[in-house]
Amino acid sequence: MPEVHDALVLVGRLIGLAVFFQSLEFIKMKESIADNGIWRWSELRTDYLFLPEKILKGLDWTMTPKRFMEMMTLRFYIGLLAFLYPHYIFIFVFLFLTTFLITLRWRGSFNGGSDYLTLIILLCLCIGFIHPLLGKAVLWYITLQVISSYFMAGLYKIKQKKWRNGAAVYGFVSSASYKTPQFIVNKCEDPTTAKILAWSVILFELTFPLVLSHPYLTVFYLGAGLLFHLGNFMTFGLNRFFWVWSASYPALYYCSKLI
């Protein structure tokens, strides 16, 4: 049976790698947060005027384009440090705080679900290394959040008629918002294929809690999960989800061994 510490270390390494890539992306898009960019702090701060003056001043100090980019550069190196030496709480505290500031900079999140799971995993790692019992608790917490992420997504989809009849699949892949590879669009144009794909996604998501029920099913669902996220990357370009969800899988593997 894997040790709590080993599982936490592996989660730490993988989330470090995810944060490393994320930070590099932010560094490369620095123009978008400049004073003449898209997300200008001089405008965004009006969302936070309700905060106490000292906190707002602290945000003003941190969120200038120059400091924010310095912070992202530091986050890039600390992410690498987390990958190499994922044993120090301060690493995860720093990564958690900077990820939280990113959510403030983008009015809730920059990349939706991937930011949320990054925050949850980092917060858990801040706590989990304190004591083995806390470590076990946070691994369970990550596991339940990840299973919920699939299960709830499946539950919301099955309620929608357009998901049940497959129309939603074609709608998303052919959407003008995404440059989905043409062969995927062509395949999904066929209503039967679209329906099969839609139900495969719904059933995969809804039955994901079975990941904990048997060692073979654990391997099957984690393997299928990786393929699912790769498919989402190929279709919609969601690369961050692949790395962040992968980082959570050691926690699921650990918890499945406890049952």
Partner 1 sequence: MNSLIALLCVLIYFVLLIAFSLFKKTSQGIENKYINLIKPLIPSWKFYDDFEETRLLFFRAKVSDEETFSEWAPLYQTPRPTFPTLFVNNQGNLILAAQSHIQTLIHDIGEHNDQTAFQDTLTYKITKNLVSYALRKKYNDHFIYQFKLSSVSDKAEIMEDILVSPLYEEEASA
Residues from 38 through 97 that contact partner 1 (CB under 8 A):
38-40, 43-44, 46-47, 50
Q: Binders of partner 1 among 218-237, rule CB under 8 A? A: 233-237
Instruction: Give the residue with the Cβ less far from partner 1, 81 or 209.
Output: 209
For residues 48 and 59, is the Cβ–Cβ distance under 8 A? Answer: yes
For residues 201 and 236, is the Cβ–Cβ distance under 8 A? Answer: no
Asked if residue 207 binds partner 1 (CB under 8 A), the reply is no
CB of 222 to partner 1, least distance (A): 17
User: Which amino acid is present at 26?
Assistant: F
Contacting residue, 238, 244, 247, 252, with partner 1 by CB under 8 A: 238
Q: Which stretch binds partner 1 (CB under 8 A): 69-77, 127-135, 155-163, 217-225?
A: 155-163
Contacting residue, 1, 54, 159, 183, with partner 1 by CB under 8 A: 159
CB of 89 to partner 1, least distance (A): 18
Q: How many CB atoms lie within 10 A of CB 118?
A: 27
Asked if residue 9 binds partner 1 (CB under 8 A), the reply is no
Contacting residue, 77, 85, 90, 156, with partner 1 by CB under 8 A: 156
Both structure tokens of 203: 């059933």
CB of 185 to partner 1, least distance (A): 10
For residues 131 and 5, is the Cβ–Cβ distance under 8 A? Answer: no
Asked if residue 204 binds partner 1 (CB under 8 A), the reply is no
Q: Binders of partner 1 among 111-130, rule CB under 8 A? A: 111-113, 115-117, 119-120, 123
Both structure tokens of 45: 């701060």
What CA–CA distances, in Å, run from 153 to 159, 229, 235, 244? 10, 14, 18, 17
Instruction: Give the residue with the Cβ less far from partner 1, 130 or 234.
Output: 234
Q: Given the structure tokens 């905060």, which residue do they identify? A: 51
Could you say which DSSP state residue 209 is in? G
Q: Which stretch binds partner 1 (CB under 8 A): 1-9, 66-74, 87-95, 156-164?
A: 156-164
Asked if residue 7 binds partner 1 (CB under 8 A), the reply is no
Q: Which stretch binds partner 1 (CB under 8 A): 20-28, 60-68, 79-87, 245-253?
A: 20-28
Contacting residue, 9, 24, 101, 134, with partner 1 by CB under 8 A: 24
For residues 258 and 130, is the Cβ–Cβ distance under 8 A? Answer: no
Q: Which residues contact 144 (CB under 8 A, 6 or more apart)?
A: none
User: Cα separation of 174 and 178, whole Å?
Assistant: 7
Rg of the chain taking only CA atoms, in angstroms? 20
Asked if residue 132 binds partner 1 (CB under 8 A), the reply is no
User: Cα separation of 162 and 31, whole Å?
Assistant: 39
